[in-house]
Amino acid sequence: MADSGRMAVGVDIGGTHLRVGAVRGYEVLAYEKERAWSSDMGPDEVMDIVAEHVRTVVDVAGLDMNEVEGVGVGIPGRVDHESGEVIQAVNASWARETVNVKRMLELRLGLPVMVDHDVAVAAAGEYIYGGHGKSDYFLYVTLGTGIASCYIANGKLLRGAHNSASEMGHTCIDPDGPRCVCGMAGCLERLAAGPAIARAAGMRSEEVVEAARNGEPRAVDVMDRVVNYLALGFVNVINVLDPDVVVIGGGLSQVEDVIVDPLRMRIRKIYRSPFAEELEIKRATFGDDAGIIGAAAQFGQEYADLS
């Protein structure tokens, strides 16, 4: 663990939520949550709100702003980690254009700010503090409203040429499948993320899970197909990256009986490798706090190795 005396603020900015936490290691000292953004808010207004929450959590934690090492931000979309520019924040109406979140917050707070995409910070939080043991080839996959992945090899986060090496959700599972928002067809996300589950069963994804748990045939059938799609997606990525640990996070990872356990079994059934037995598939340790813990970890000693 990093120097336990250090404190950073983690900010998790979603399309519909904001979470801000004063964090030491993986311990959240103070926490603030904001309701959904109003769609007519501009970037300046949003950053004013973020800055206000940062000051509040520092205050509630009984600390002074000059005791804070920095502010880490996780945000969906394409993020240039070096410059702090958020190039495309999907679902965030205030950030349809390029917004330099790093500069905007540094001006408001007078503290160093680091920005990364939400999956990268959640992966970093799990990698550093999740208690998953030593892993040299760590694959993190988030299953929820969307599906995305992050790969940390020998302590280095694989970013890709355009900060886009996380798009497992847009690997193709069925070329004749339904059209995806990305322009392709039959993407894993389009077939197996939360909205796909809801669409296939005509009810909310939580209701589908509950119905499947109760043995309702249509829901069981939908979940069976979803788990199969997910297993294909996982095995494809596992074959490409050869991880030693796979950690599954995101909202759907909370559903152990209907999603995670059957998915593990299906992966074991499909995946053919002499080393298949050695692969560990685990659930994420942090739930909703993953974003703030991981974002704050950008200021930990260990994160220096991840950039």
Question: Least distance (Å) from Zn ion to the CB of residue 192?
Answer: 12
Q: Which is nearer to Zn ion, 180 or 296 (CB)?
A: 180
Q: Which is nearer to Zn ion, 120 or 188 (CB)?
A: 188
Q: Which is nearer to Zn ion, 60 or 182 (CB)?
A: 182
Question: Least distance (Å) from Zn ion to the CB of residue 190?
Answer: 6
Question: Least distance (Å) from Zn ion to the CB of residue 250?
Answer: 17
Q: Which is nearer to Zn ion, 200 or 293 (CB)?
A: 200
Question: Least distance (Å) from Zn ion to the CB of residue 5?
Answer: 44
Per-residue HEC secondary structure of the chain comes to CCCCCCEEEEEEECCCCEEEEEEECCEEEEEEEECCCCCCCCHHHHHHHHHHHHHHHHHHCCCCHHHEEEEEEEECCEEECCCCEEEECCCCHHHCCCEEHHHHHHHHHCCCEEEEEHHHHHHHHHHHHCCCCCCCEEEEEEECCCEEEEEEECCEECCCCCCCCCCHHHCECCCCCCECCCCCECEHHHHHCHHHHHHHHCCCHHHHHHHHHCCCHHHHHHHHHHHHHHHHHHHHHHHHHCCCEEEEECHHHHCHHHHHHHHHHHHHHHCCCCCHHHCEEEECCCCCCHHHHHHHHHHCHHHHHHC
> What b/e sequence results for 141-173 when a residue is b if at least 16 CB atoms lie within 10 Å of its CB, and e otherwise?
bbbbbbbbbbbbeebebebeeebeebbbbbbbb
Question: Least distance (Å) from Zn ion to the CB of residue 187?
Answer: 3
Q: Which is nearer to Zn ion, 53 or 190 (CB)?
A: 190
Q: Which is nearer to Zn ion, 12 or 118 (CB)?
A: 118
Question: Least distance (Å) from Zn ion to the CB of residue 89?
Answer: 17
Question: Least distance (Å) from Zn ion to the CB of residue 127?
Answer: 26
Q: Which is nearer to Zn ion, 182 or 304 (CB)?
A: 182
Q: Which is nearer to Zn ion, 108 or 170 (CB)?
A: 170
Of the candidates 295, 268, 283, the residue with the CA atom closest to the CA atom of residue 124: 295
Q: Which residues contact 185 (CB under 8 A, 6 or more apart)?
A: 172, 174, 175, 176, 177, 178, 179
Residues near Zn ion (CB under 5 A) are 170, 180, 182, 184, 187
Question: Least distance (Å) from Zn ion to the CB of residue 173?
Answer: 10
